[in-house]
Structure formats: C-alpha cells, structure tokens
Amino acid sequence: MSLPWKYSAPWIAIVGLASCSFRMADESADSPELPGDTAQPTVLAFEEEGTLQLVPGELRTVWVTGRPPAPYEVSFTLLGEAAGAWVDRTTAVADENGRASVQLHASTLGSTFRLRAATKGGPSAELGVSVSAEGFGTLRVIPVYEGTRVAKDWTASVVAEATCEEIAAAAPEAPVGALVAHGGPDEPVVVEGAPVGPSLTVALHSGRIMWGCVGERELQAGSARDVWVPIKDLPIDMAATRLDTKLTLVTADGLTAMLEAAAEQLLDAFLPAGAEAASLLDAMQRAAPPDQARAFAAQRIERDWDAAAQAHLAALPLPLRDRCRGWARAGLAGTPLALDGQLSGVADMQGRALFEASWLGSVTADDAGVPPAHFMSWKADPGDVLRLAGTLTWSPTHYIGGVTGLGVAAEADAESVPAALATAAECQALGELLGGYSDCTGDCMAMLCAGGLKLLWRAGTEASETAGMIGEIVVNASGPAQLNSSAAPIAWTADWLGTIRYGEGEEVGVEGRVNAVSPEAITR
C-alpha cells in the first residue's frame, strides 16, 4: 500500500459523517455551559489502560478524567492514519467529577492510530488504538546493536500499513499515531495489543542517538513474538557542542628556548641594554603633561639628568632588566603552557566550531594576546571519534608580560609589574636626586618615574605586535566522545599534535592531550 503523504508531516484526522454533525449540534445544545473561570486540570488521563483494542466497525465509549474534578472543556482528535475511524464529537464538557466521554467508531480496516484528548492551554493525554478482525498479539522488541554508544532506555513504536522508508524521514521520532511502549536498556520493549492482519512496521530508538526499523508480518493472535531490530547510530549533533575544553602539553622540545627569546624581545623593547637611563627619562617626559615637555627637556639638559639617572640605575641592587628577567622565569616555571576555553558548535556553519579562549597557562587570554574567538574545523568520524583542527593566534611578549606578573605576585608586594618596577627602580630616590622642574618637585618626579616605567612596560609587552611577529598555535586533535540522549557531545578526550610558531621560521612541534566536558555534565 503506497502512502506518499501520511508520514511526511504530523497528520491529525478528524473524520465524521453527516449524521455526526447533526448529533454534535444536539449534544452541544444539551451540554452544560462551561464556567468562564474554570481552571485547567493539572492531570488529564484516559480511564482505559494500555492499548484500546477494537474490531472493525466497533463503537466504543471512551472516558477521560481531569484532576482536580471540574467541568473542563475537553477536545478530541485522531492522530495518524485512522483508516476511516471517527469520533462523534470534537469537544465535550466534563461532569462535576471531571469525566468526559467520546464515542469512537473503529475503521473497517486493520489499523493503528491514537486518540488525543486535550484541554485548552492545559494538559493532554493520548490513547493508542488498534483495530483488527483477526485478533491482537504482543511484540517483544529487541535491539541488535554492535556500536559503542550506551542506551539509557528504549522506545518502541508500531504502525500499520507503512514502511521503514516512509517513517525514516522523521527518525528518531515515533510515527504519528503509532502504538508506543518504553523499556529499560537491557530488556525487550513490550508492545501489547498490536493488530494481527495488517503489515506492521516496528521502529526502536534510544533518545536521538540510536534508531532502527524492521517490518513484521508474522504476528499471531494471542501470542507473543520477538522482533529483532537492527540498530544504527544517528548523526552527532555537532552544532549542539558546548564543551569546556583544556589542551595541555605533554612534550614540547624547544618551547622553553622560544619563550626565553620572547622574554628577551620584551626586555629589549622595555629598556634597551646600554640605554636604560635615556629610555627611562624619555618615558618620564612622555608621562608629563604635554605643556610641561619643554621645561622637562630644558632641565634635563641643564642639570645633566641622563648622567644622574644612569648612576642611580647602576647603583641598584639588581639591574631592572635582570629583575624583570627573574620575574619572567619564575612565572614561566610555575605556569605550564596549556590552553583553556569553550568549544561550541555553529548552527549555520556545518563542520565548524567556535573556540573561545579564556586562559593560556595561568594568564588570561586577553593578557596573553589571544583573540577572544577562533573558528576551527569540527567533524565526526565513525565510532564517535571527533576531530578538531585549526590555528589560534597569540602574542608571545604579551604572554611573557602575563607570566612576569605571576612572578611579581609570588616575590614582590606589588599589585602589578609597573608598580613592582617603580619600587625596584627606587623612583622616590630618583625623583629627589633629579630635583624636578617648574612646579614638579621630587614627589612629582617620582610619579613621572612610575608613569614612565608603565609606558615602557606596555611597549615591551606589545613588542610582538610592533614587530609584526604574531605567534600561532596549530591544533590537530582526534579522540572519542561521549554523547547525551540528544546526540550532543558532553565529554571528549583526545590526543593532539601541533606546532607553536613565532617569528620567521621559528616553530616547535608539540604533543598533548585534550580534555573537554559539558558544563551541564559538571553541574549534574
């Protein structure tokens, strides 16, 4: 039997005869009026349990009850291929006990469909209906599965006079009007009251992750029959990915040397070796109000501030470059390089994911010069193996600046690297030594020293960008995923191979691990 349309979209059938319309008019006139302020029920249920079994042409009164009791208005519809079945009314008003009824006229053909009762804006209930002239039997639906996914439960559906091809388009949803039963992961799903005679299609699914279908024509009246359904994996919903992701390094030979080179680049931009005093005084002049620049420059020449500043810096217990180098090394030693962020699927970009970085090691992504978002390739292979590939950018000198701050926090009583530098440079003593200019006395000069060091430190951390030397982290990761019942990844562990690049031809091969988990899985 060809059914080109009935399962392509949900179909609601309300079938009636001319005499039915006449009876409905009479019954509406005799029915009690529905109070305008009647609340909706919290529960609506059919009094018939299990599948309603009818012979062709049979007339059966079906009752539905709402709780708490009240005269609710209840609507009735038939769902699926009713094969000519009909109800004598589309609405009924419940009595004071919350009970309402409808007369259901069975079709003249073997069929399966559902009777739906609903209250406006309130709950609804459905009753499976089976029609057969040859009797009814029980189907024990058993999955046949050789994959790696784990079912938490199974749902079986049985529909008459359809094919697996016709219902596959809506998979894994049960066909409209099907007889439906549920079962646990390790036992057959029992569907009682299946009609004998018509050809049956049996579908079985677990959430949105597994589905299978098979035809059944051997059911005998009053018997139970095992139906073995081959199960296949349904596609992963990659767009639903929301994973807190961490990429750690296991091996990265040469990375330490690369980071130390970036630290030297930062220091050269911060305080060039041999020109520390001149660089600091230049920065102090930039930190002064613009209208005081001439007075600062004149006094600098007149009182030979360059020589005085050079002598002051040379007398420090530790040169400022060495001090910064020590902080950077301490920060690097305590901060293994890793990348943290959230990996999200992109609904309108198949095969793509968005990685939003939050941390590089113990440095925030922003402080490490990592842009907030990167698009990456995100694909699934058989066996729920997921593959991530892409390139992320970063600023090595920004990252060195961040880890230097960690070294400062561990060794110095300062809120930031510039503040620690002002203390290490003994800015107060330098200000008193230089004496000042115009209305800017020793304390004012100390503030200009601190402000100048802040400007210099910023220039140091921005050295990568200034030189056009943007770093890259190339990622190629592959590993198995765990899915939830909606086929969305909720956990992923993978090995990753990649490359960390910086500068012209400078690159380091790296290997590591990926550990990713859904925030929802963590909260559970």
Written as six digits, the tokens of 508 are: 């380091």
Closest CA to 164 of 205, 106, 105: 205
Closest CA to 449 of 223, 255, 282, 224: 282
Give domain status of residue 159, yes or no.
yes
Task: Let me know whether 254 and 227 are in one domain.
Answer: no
Domain count, the chain: 3
Written as six digits, the tokens of 105 are: 């006229």
- Of the three residues 80, 109, 129, the one that is the final residue of a domain is 129
Structure confidence at residue 162 (pLDDT): 93
Task: Let me know whether 395 and 511 are in one domain.
Answer: yes
Task: Let me know whether 337 and 479 are in one domain.
Answer: yes
What interhelical angle do 276-287 and 305-314 show, nearest 10?
120
Q: Which residue is listed with tokens 């359809």?
A: 162
Three-state SS letters, 287-305: HCCHHHHHHHHHHHHHCCH
Q: In what order do the strands lie in the sheet with 136-144?
A: 189-195, 136-144, 224-230
d(CA 268, CA 262): 10
Q: Are 493 and 225 in contact (CB under 8 A)?
A: no
Closest CA to 148 of 384, 379, 380: 384
Residues 6+ apart with CB under 8 A from 44: 64, 65, 66, 67, 74, 117, 118, 119, 122, 123, 124, 125
Give domain status of residue 469, yes or no.
yes
Closest CA to 353 of 481, 502, 207: 481
Strands 52-54 and 91-93: unpaired
Task: Let me know whether 314 and 214 are in one domain.
Answer: no
Structure confidence at residue 30 (pLDDT): 44
Structure confidence at residue 10 (pLDDT): 37
Enumerate the β-bridge partners of residue 286: none
Helices (H), 78-211: 164-168
Task: Let me know whether 386 and 510 are in one domain.
Answer: yes
Burial string for 356-377 (b: 16+ CB within 10 Å, else e) reads: ebbbbbbbebebbbbeeebebe
CATH code where residue 69 lies: 2.60.40.10
User: What are the tens digits of pLDDT across the range 358-403?
Assistant: 999 999 999 999 998 999 999 999 999 999 999 999 999 999 999 9
DSSP string, 162-182: --HHHHHTTTTSPPTT-EEEE
Task: Let me know whether 110 and 202 are in one domain.
Answer: no
Written as six digits, the tokens of 282 are: 């230049």
Give domain status of residue 333, yes or no.
yes
Domain of residue 305, residue span: 242-517
Written as six digits, the tokens of 397 are: 């000198």
Give domain status of residue 58, yes or no.
yes
List per-residue pLDDT tens for the chain, 524 residues long. Answer: 333 334 333 333 333 333 333 333 334 334 444 444 457 899 999 999 999 999 999 999 999 999 999 999 999 999 999 999 999 999 999 999 999 999 999 999 999 999 999 999 899 999 999 999 999 999 999 999 999 999 999 999 999 999 999 999 999 999 999 999 999 999 999 999 999 999 999 999 999 999 999 999 999 999 999 999 999 999 999 999 999 999 999 988 999 999 999 999 999 999 999 999 999 999 999 999 999 999 999 999 999 999 999 999 999 999 999 999 999 999 998 878 899 999 999 999 999 999 999 999 999 999 999 998 999 999 999 999 999 999 999 999 999 999 999 999 988 788 999 999 999 999 999 999 999 998 899 999 999 999 999 999 999 999 999 999 999 999 999 999 999 999 999 999 999 999 999 987 789 999 999 999 999 765 44
Tell me the pLDDT of the chain averaged across its residues. Answer: 91
Q: Are 476 and 501 in contact (CB under 8 A)?
A: no
Give domain status of residue 35, yes or no.
no
- Of the three residues 234, 264, 296, the one that is the final residue of a domain is 234
* Prior bond of 172 cis (ω within 30°): yes
Task: Let me know whether 303 and 373 are in one domain.
Answer: yes
User: What are the tens digits of pLDDT across the range 115-155?
Assistant: 999 999 899 999 999 999 999 999 999 999 999 999 999 99
Task: Let me know whether 423 and 512 are in one domain.
Answer: yes
Give domain status of residue 115, yes or no.
yes
Closest CA to 448 of 324, 269, 299: 299
Q: Are 408 and 417 in contact (CB under 8 A)?
A: yes
DSSP secondary structure letter of residue 56: T
Rg (CA), the chain: 38
Q: Are 365 and 337 in contact (CB under 8 A)?
A: no
| Residue 32 burial class via C-beta count within 10 angstroms: exposed 0-12, middle 13-18, buried 19 and up | exposed
User: What are the tens digits of pLDDT across the range 162-181?
Assistant: 999 999 999 999 999 999 99
Structure confidence at residue 153 (pLDDT): 96
Q: Are 7 and 162 in contact (CB under 8 A)?
A: yes
pTM of the model: 0.80
Task: Let me know whether 312 and 383 are in one domain.
Answer: yes
Task: Let me know whether 213 and 346 are in one domain.
Answer: no
Give domain status of residue 247, yes or no.
yes
Structure confidence at residue 7 (pLDDT): 39
Structure confidence at residue 6 (pLDDT): 40
Structure confidence at residue 412 (pLDDT): 77
Task: Let me know whether 298 and 281 are in one domain.
Answer: yes
d(CA 151, CA 381): 20
Collapsing DSSP states into helix, strand and coil, what is residue 284?
A: helix
Structure confidence at residue 12 (pLDDT): 35
Structure confidence at residue 521 (pLDDT): 61
Task: Let me know whether 217 and 86 are in one domain.
Answer: no
| Residue 22 burial class via C-beta count within 10 angstroms: exposed 0-12, middle 13-18, buried 19 and up | exposed
Structure confidence at residue 271 (pLDDT): 97
Strands 338-345 and 86-87: unpaired
- Of the three residues 129, 144, 172, the one that is the final residue of a domain is 129
Give domain status of residue 90, yes or no.
yes
Residue type at 171 in one-letter notation: A
Phi-psi region of 438 (alpha: psi -120 to 50; beta: other; left: phi over 0): left
Structure confidence at residue 363 (pLDDT): 94
CATH code where residue 202 lies: 2.60.40.1120
Other beta carbons less than 10 A from residue 390's beta carbon: 18
d(CA 286, CA 293): 8
